[in-house]
Amino acid sequence: MAHLSPVAFAQLGRAFAQRSAAHAVSWGWVEGESTGPFSTPSVGYLRSSPVLVEEATPHEASHEVPTDGGDDDTLVGGASGARLELHIVYGATFGVPLLLVQGYSSAGELWTVSEVRSHLMAASKEGGAPIAADSVSQIEHPALGVPFASLHPCRTAEWMGAILQRESGDAPQQLDYLSAWWSVLAQSVGQRVAPADARAWMLSA
């Protein structure tokens, strides 16, 4: 099992944002803010540059969870203009990074959670690591307090533990948790991290 503290997440997040400048999806680090009388500010988070994707189809606008096999036709090949906004936030309960996704149509309308779910199911299938419909649900963004679709983090600490253990022979001190995590999760949102890039990212901390 591999967990992160909020402080370690923030340190890795700032470095991750710096290293991502030259990549197709670049990331910015947003510092946490103090809210109300709480002594500590919320944990900061990473926000991606816009990711252009195909528009959601009218079918997706319904509130139905797609059934197995029904996700091949959920995206149309029309003019792209829709975009995804990706956030990586700190999951306080499990002590792991959490991928949050919001989609917008070309007209700027917010995607429903069903539309985001359909998109992620199709994108992850294409990326070779299909996700199940029930692994996507809405949660409250821990820093912004607004709804975002989230990929469930229940087993993240488990598989991150396996990755870190496997890599520990190579570079016990240098493996970057956040980059290693993203190299796996990127596929779920249709992003690819080239193996060389992933290796360089992971070891460059």
Partner 1 sequence: MEGEEALMRAAAADAWAGEIPAVFVLATNEVTTLEPPVPFHLCLARQSYLPFTTAEVVDHFKPFAPPMGGGEPWYEHDGQPLRWHVPLGVLFDLHAGLEAEAELPWRLTVHFQGFPATTLLSTANAAAEGWVLNALKESCFLRCGSALPAMSLSIAEQKKLTHALTTNDFREYCAVAERISAAMAKSLGASGLPHSVPVRVFTSPVEWRQQPAAPRLPSGGSTRLYDVLVSLLPSVFESSSSAAPRVIVQGVSVPLETPLLWLHGACSHPDGFLYVYVSCSPPSTAPQIA
Q: Which of 79, 107, 146, 196 binds partner 1 (CB under 8 A)?
A: 146
SS3 136: strand
* 17 vs 113, beta carbon nearer partner 1: 113
* 26 vs 57, beta carbon nearer partner 1: 57
Q: Which residues of 14-30 are buried (b: 16+ CB within 10 A; e: fewer)?
A: ebbbebbeeeebebebb
* 15 vs 157, beta carbon nearer partner 1: 157
* 151 vs 205, beta carbon nearer partner 1: 151
Rounded distance, CA 186 to CA 38, Å?
34
* 39 vs 173, beta carbon nearer partner 1: 39
Site stretch for partner 1 (CB under 8 A), options 15-23, 78-86, 106-114, 189-197: 106-114
Rounded distance, CA 42 to CA 117, Å?
27
Rounded distance, CA 205 to CA 17, Å?
12
- Rule CB under 8 A: say whether 188 interacts with partner 1: no
Partners of 140 in beta bridges: 147
112-131 residues near partner 1, rule: CB under 8 A: 112-114
Site stretch for partner 1 (CB under 8 A), options 10-18, 133-141, 164-172, 174-182: 133-141
* Residue pair 92/17 in contact by the 8 Å Cβ criterion: no
How many CB atoms are located within 10 Å of the residue 78 CB? Answer: 11
Please, what is the minimum distance in Å from the beta carbon of residue 5 to partner 1? 13
- Rule CB under 8 A: say whether 32 interacts with partner 1: no
How many CB atoms are located within 10 Å of the residue 200 CB? Answer: 12
- Rule CB under 8 A: say whether 137 interacts with partner 1: yes
Residue type, 151: L
Give contact residues for partner 1 (rule: CB under 8 A). Answer: 35-40, 61-65, 92-94, 110, 112-114, 134, 137-140, 145-147, 152, 154
